[in-house]
Amino acid sequence: MPAATGGDPASPRTGVLVVPHGVPPECPRPLRLGVLASGQGSNFEALVQCSRHGALRAEVVGLVVNTPHCKALARAERLGVAATVMDHHHYSSRKALDHALVEHFRDLQVDVLVMAGWMRIVSPVLCQAYDQRLVNIHPSLLPAFRGLNAMERALAAGVCITGCTAHLVVPEVDAGPILVQAAVPAYPDDTLATLAPRIHAQEHRILPVAVAMAGQRLFERP
Ligand code: GAR
């Protein structure tokens, strides 16, 4: 993968600077992936498609959503991926939900767990159970614009470049070690409706690379 790529020169607004840390590593065996989602599920689908088309040596073995009628669930059904609803309202605390998630994904023998639009703050319970193998995707160039509404806040700040980050998860929100980032131009007349698809397109590229990197580290561990 190149260190930097431009988009279609005839259409500069689709152009991006991609800054991966290198070629996505190949894991010794297919990774078993668990995915957490709360909304649209486009990153979940990107992981499934990359796995099925050979761009990522992995299989998505389960999706958990916390919002009962989200679009990610419909995608899972269409794609034939087992999906489970764990509505956070039915758990007494963040830790209680995270304990249930750990049990669920342990049963599925998940190697790497991916927060693909999981709009819940996770507790140390999940971080410790999936230490170094819990990956999050965030729609900004971290450490800028941590937290909610990152794209809206980047636009309000008038940035010229924003992007997305895939990183390992630690208990502090949007603060873990960065695995891969992609830079995306922001234009003065951009709105959320024009910027968001540009960022999503790059998320779908970097998340599989980040997952492969996390998986590789798993096999490198003593
Ligand atoms: C993505 O843009 C992701 O970066 C963001 O939610 C969206 C989910 O899209 N995550 C966060 O903001 C987490 N802080 P998707 O449901 O289509 O994958």
> What pLDDT, in 10s, does the model give residues 7-55?
444 455 655 767 666 666 678 899 999 999 999 999 999 999 999 999 9
Domains along the chain?
29-220 (3.40.50.170)
Of all protein residues, the one whose alpha carbon is nearest to atom 5 of ligand 1 is 117
138 given a catalytic annotation? yes
Q: 222: pLDDT confidence band, cut at 50, 70 and 90?
A: low
C-alpha–C-alpha distance, residues 142 and 16, integer Å: 17
Q: Over range 132-138, report the average pLDDT.
A: 97
Of all protein residues, the one whose alpha carbon is nearest to atom 1 of ligand 1 is 117
What percent of the chain is predicted at pLDDT more than 70? 88
The model's pTM is 0.92
**Ligand 1 pocket, residue 139 CB under 6 Å:** yes
pLDDT at residue number 23: 64
Ligand 1 centre to CA of 110 (Å) is 21
Question: Mutate which of 137, 162, 167, 173 to test ligand 1's pocket (most atoms within 8 Å of Cβ)?
Answer: 137
CB within 8 A of 206, min separation 6: which ones? Answer: 18, 20, 137, 164, 165, 166, 180, 181, 182
The answer to whether residue 200 scores a pLDDT higher than 90 is yes
Atom of ligand 1 nearest to the CA of 40: 16
Q: Is 197 exposed, middle or buried (0-12, 13-18, 19+ CB in 10 A)?
A: exposed
**Ligand 1 pocket, residue 37 CB under 6 Å:** yes
Ligand 1 centre to CA of 137 (Å) is 7
Of 1-15, 67-81, 84-98, 189-203, the poorest mean pLDDT is in 1-15
**Ligand 1 pocket, residue 176 CB under 6 Å:** no
The answer to whether residue 6 scores a pLDDT higher than 80 is no
Question: Which entry of 88, 89, 99, 138 is annotated as an active-site residue?
Answer: 138
**Ligand 1 pocket, residue 63 CB under 6 Å:** no
Q: 150: pLDDT confidence band, cut at 50, 70 and 90?
A: very high
pLDDT at residue number 5: 43
Of the candidates 159, 78, 83, the one whose C-alpha atom is nearest the C-alpha of residue 116 is 83
Write down how long the chain is: 222
C-alpha–C-alpha distance, residues 164 and 140, integer Å: 4
Mean pLDDT for all residues in the chain: 91
The structure tokens listed for 183 are: 């830079």
Atom of ligand 1 nearest to the CA of 147: 14
